[in-house]
Structures are given as C-alpha cells and as structure tokens.
Amino acid sequence: MKTKITELLGIEYPIVQGAMAWIAEHHLAAAVSKAGGLGIIAGGAAPVDVIREEIRQARAITDKPLGMNIMLLSPNADDLAQLAIDEKIEVLTTGAGNPGKYMADWKNAGIKVMPVVASVALAKRMARAGADAVIAEGMEGGGHIGELTTMPLVPQVVDAVDIPVIAAGGIADGRGMAAALLLGAEGVQCGTVFLASDECCISEKYKELVLKATDISTVVTGRPSGHPVRSLKTPMARKCLELEKANTEQSLEELEAATAGSLRKAVQDGNYEEGTFMSGQIAGMLHELRPCADILQGMTAQAEELLRHAYKRFE
C-alpha cells in the first residue's frame, strides 16, 4: 500500500508501532521494521546508554528504517535528541512538549520528525515548526491521552495542516485502518495491538489481561493531575480512582507514591495488585498473540479489501 507516509518514511506498510515506555524495545521495534512497518524505540525516561544499546540491538536485527520517541519533558530529552543524530535514527516521534529547539539539528541530520498531537492547535504549531508529519492521537488509545477521540480529531487535523497526518488511538485491524485513511490520514500508529504480539516482551500476566479484556475493560485515571492515562481496570487503577475522589493532601501523596514505577511493575513483574497495565479500548478486539508481521499484513490486506469493495455494500 503506497501513501505519502510510506513514501516519506521508506516503508512498505503505512503502519507505525507507537512508542510505549518500558515496552517498545529492540525486539518489538525491530520486528515491526523488519516486517515493513516503522518500529519505534521508546526513549521514556531511560538512561541514554540503555537506549543506545536498544538502537544498536535493533540495527543488528534489521537495516530497515527505525524510529525513536522522545518525551520532551523528560530530563533526558537533550541527550536523547543528540543520540538520535549520533545513531542516525531515520524517524523521531515526540510527545509532551515542543521540539522546536532541536528541529534545525535534526533536519540537518536528515531525520524525519513526527510529533504526537491531540489538538488542531498543536498540530498547526508543529507544522509551522517544520514537522514532516503529525500523529493525531485520540483518547481511545492506551497510555497518556488527550481529550478528543480519533474520529473528530483526525479530519480536523487533516484540514488544518498541509503535511501528512497519521491517525492513532483505537486502531487494531483493517476496518480501523480503512476508516482512518477515509478520514484523510496517510497512515496509522498502533500501540495496544502490539501488546498482543509474539515479539512484545511484556510479562505473561500483562498479555493475559490484554487478551481477556472486553470493550469496557479500560479506565482513565490521572484526570485531576492534568495527566490522564488509559489503562486496564485492575486493583491499581481502582485505587487511583478512589484516591483521586478523596482528593485530600494525604490521598494525593499516597497516589503519587503508589503510581511511581507502576508501569514497570506491570511490564516486568506482572504485578497484578501494584502494576499499571496501560492499554487502549481496542484491547477487547484482541483474542490471540500473533507475530508482528501477521499483524501488519493482516491489517493492510483487510483495509485494502474494504477500500476496494466498500461501495458494493451500498449498491
């Protein structure tokens, strides 16, 4: 499938594997890139040496284009910005902030820059700052989210900017992909669907919970703090909601202490009681583990089929 995104990034399928802190490491990113999508290594708050090693390990598996994600408010952002140049990363996605101050250096290094945006205003600002594309992410998705859902966000961003738009949030199969393309997107970014992939190195418990999830299995916590997060309804998520509701100085302190490191506890330890199992609403559509290559091929083939024949349903 050829779109402006496959051409811009030099990839086969217009599918980007979204950054996922603690999760999107070299096994997953390399598997997606090798199979023809764009794999992304999540910078998160990890030390630069760790991310350098992840990039090099991914490069040892595939020479296809590779992406990296920088959370711009992270203390390591300056170092990761330079690391991307040193390691000749082809594509950068950015979140939580404005990449403006790095843009000239990244451009000189030939890096394609795709900020994640949750509003039209931010999309326009990123386009003005020189972004090559934007990733419009709806709040159906897993992890940190904005306020708008994908369906209204994507076409409004498409209308507002003249660079390619990638749709993210709630896309896990060819139906979602075809819908996103019809809304004007040139590609999709998926996170949750890759939690249910063979190459994703999360705990068995995490995978089990994702596969067991239904349409109403996720919940949003963190709204009062201004940093909402979508995750599976587990004891930890329920505890967060209770502490947020209590809204006392003591409960908010307890909340901060409980959530610190809780994604790592889910990813590495499979700690059901204390972990935060971030996931999008489409977890309810995932019923089996698949290789990344199958996910990419299946999604694209279904989208192509639907786009080619959709009109027949209405004849």
Ligand X SMILES: Cc1cc2nc3c(=O)[nH]c(=O)nc-3n(C[C@H](O)[C@H](O)[C@H](O)COP(=O)(O)O)c2cc1C
> Applying CB under 6 A, which residues contact ligand X?
18-21, 23, 42, 44, 69, 71, 95, 116, 137, 140-143, 168-171, 189-193, 278-280, 282
| Least gap, CB of 49 to ligand X (angstroms) | 19
- Nearest one of 127, 133, 168 to 149, comparing CA atoms: 168
- Nearest one of 233, 214, 123 to 168, comparing CA atoms: 123
User: CA Rg, the chain, in Å?
Assistant: 19
- Take residue 136 and report the two structure tokens written for it: 């419009």
Q: Which is nearer to ligand X, 214 or 248 (CB)?
A: 214
Q: List 230's β-bridge partners, or say none.
A: 143, 220
Q: What's the CA angle centered on 264, arms 85 and 14, to 5 degrees?
A: 50
Comparing every residue's Cβ against ligand X, the nearest one is: 191
Q: Which is nearer to ligand X, 20 or 209 (CB)?
A: 20
User: 40: helix, coil or strand?
Assistant: strand
| Least gap, CB of 128 to ligand X (angstroms) | 21
Q: Which is nearer to ligand X, 228 or 254 (CB)?
A: 228
| Least gap, CB of 135 to ligand X (angstroms) | 7
The DSSP output letter for 267 is I
| Least gap, CB of 118 to ligand X (angstroms) | 10
Q: Which is nearer to ligand X, 36 or 141 (CB)?
A: 141
| Least gap, CB of 139 to ligand X (angstroms) | 9
| Least gap, CB of 93 to ligand X (angstroms) | 6
* Helical ranges in the chain per DSSP H: 4-9, 26-34, 48-61, 77-86, 100-108, 120-128, 150-160, 174-182, 192-195, 204-212, 235-246, 249-259, 262-264, 292-309
Q: How far apart are CA 258 and CA 116, in angstroms?
A: 28
- Take residue 78 and report the two structure tokens written for it: 């300056």
Q: List 197's β-bridge partners, or say none.
A: 290
Return the number of other C-beta atoms located less than 10 Å from residue 265's C-beta.
20
| Least gap, CB of 246 to ligand X (angstroms) | 26
